[in-house]
Amino acid sequence: MKKFLTLVMVGGMFLTTSAQSFDKKIEKLATKFEKDAIELRHWFHQNAELSNREFKTSERIAATLKEIGLEPQTGIAKTGVVAVLKGGKPGPVVGLRADIDGLPVKERVDLPWASKQMGEYNGEEVPVMHACGHDTHIGVLLGVAKMLYEMRDEIPGTVKFIFQPAEEGAPAGEEGGAKLMVKEGVLKNPDVDAIFGLHISSDTQVGRIETRPRGLLAAVNSFRIDIKGVQSHGSAPWSGIDPIVTASQMVNSIQTIVSRSIKLTDAAAVVTVGAIHSGVRSNIIPESAYMLGTIRTLDADHRTTVHKRLREIVQNIAEANNAEATVSIDEGYPVTFNDPSLFDQMIPTLDRISGNKVDLVPAITGAEDFSFYQEQVPGLFFFIGGCPEGSDPKKAAPHHTPDFYVDDSGMILGMKAMTALTLDYLSSK
């Protein structure tokens, strides 16, 4: 017997009767659970915790999942939480991910639920704030869990909710984040077929979605350059080897890597030196210096070229100054890469659920460890707006700053989008 789908034109696209039915329920359930998601967001914001130290956060997530009716697994990748929802019908497995850690930033936003938390970072006591919106991501995904649980009998497949710690990077000497979750088997048992993730954006208008196929966010690597010279009196520089002069020459030459070794018409790249440390007095040429920096690339070959040229430049300039130098580059994160086939399949869902408010944006030189999941299975990552109606997105405080703010009203679109992506993907198989 042949099966025929009834198609209806909605917003310039054909929509199955099944999807129409889901959309009505999604709208109703998102409205029902929006307040819950916002209240949870406020609690997580007020109780912000640093990477790999999200103990209260993890406890509250697990407790909420139990209240919903799910059986959460805790202690994954240190403080991660995972729950599986089996639908009433057989089908594929979708992963939905939210990151849960805060940042060592002191909040300046005047909110009744502002963070006053403290934590330890690099051996120092620091204020802690959700300065990148991860609190909204948790609230959104818990809202989605509530929505999908109510629809569980109609779900043709399985949903895995992944609450991931340490997206901002594990403390020194520790593993963490998406890489550790993958290593510990978060995409297995049941095996995830596709994964979806979102990020709220302070300079995107509430109600809009931003994304792009292929490379959306850059690969990132941190580097450290250590320079060893010979200490001498500042009045007699010829009697020593100056690591500060050597470092200065390196900084200037490092800037030529992108301008002279990278084909920028293919993809952007950035090499930034963010810190130089050396010396204690005006009249002492110190023995050593070190520099810290970041590399951002949107192309795998560019990444290889930048690493190679960085090492060459540092070694050659050190030799020219009779100094010694070493370069260490961490493993970093790969490119956040939206699988083209999955993107083409799911972009109509985002367009439909947002009311034709999806913007295809240029690649961004920020980074996201969602990329580790995308190395293993097809994944789609997108941004939702957090800039409140009536505000100028151009004046929004950037992420990772004390004045960072995203509005609660942006969360409902995230709930609807993640739910619709899940149901549409599962229904298409």
Residue 429's pLDDT is 81
Between strands 214-217 and 336-338, the pairing is: antiparallel
Chain segment 261-306, per-residue pLDDT in tens: 999 999 999 999 999 999 999 999 999 999 999 999 999 999 999 9
The more confidently predicted of residues 19 and 306 is 306
Residues of the chain with pLDDT > 90, as a percent, come to 94
Sequence letter at residue 32: K
**SS3 of 208, please?**
coil
Instruction: Indicate if the pLDDT at residue 3 is higher than 80.
Output: no
What residues does each domain of the chain span? 7-217+336-428, 219-329
Please tell me the distance from the alpha carbon of residue 53 to that of residue 126, in angstroms, as a whole number.
13
- Compute the average pLDDT of residues 392-412: 98
Please tell me the distance from the alpha carbon of residue 119 to that of residue 122, in angstroms, as a whole number.
10
Would residue 101 show up in a list of annotated catalytic residues for this protein? Answer: yes
Tell me the CA distances in angstroms from 37 to 109, 128, 211, 221, one per residue in order: 21, 22, 24, 34
- Beta-bridge mates of residue 338: 214
- Beta-bridge mates of residue 379: 195
| Domain 219-329 is found in CATH 3.30.70.360 | yes
Please tell me the distance from the alpha carbon of residue 101 to that of residue 99, in angstroms, as a whole number.
6
Would residue 167 show up in a list of annotated catalytic residues for this protein? Answer: yes
Q: Among the options 101, 210, 368, 408, which is catalytic? A: 101
Q: Where are the alpha helices (H) located in 231-356, listed in sequence order?
A: 243-254, 256-261, 300-320, 340-354
Instruction: Say which DSSP state 364 is in.
Output: B
Give the DSSP letter string of 28-80. HHHHHHHHHHHHHHHHHHHT---TT--HHHHHHHHHHHHHHT---EEEETTTE
Chain segment 196-228, per-residue pLDDT in tens: 999 999 999 999 999 999 999 999 999 999 999
| Residue 278 backbone dihedrals phi, psi, to 5 degrees | -175, 145
Q: How confident is residue 423, by pLDDT bands cut at 50, 70 and 90?
A: very high
Q: Among the options 54, 167, 210, 368, which is catalytic? A: 167
**CATH of segment(s) 7-217+336-428:** 3.40.630.10
User: pTM value?
Assistant: 0.90
Chain segment 340-359, per-residue pLDDT in tens: 999 999 999 999 999 999 99
Residue 402's pLDDT is 98
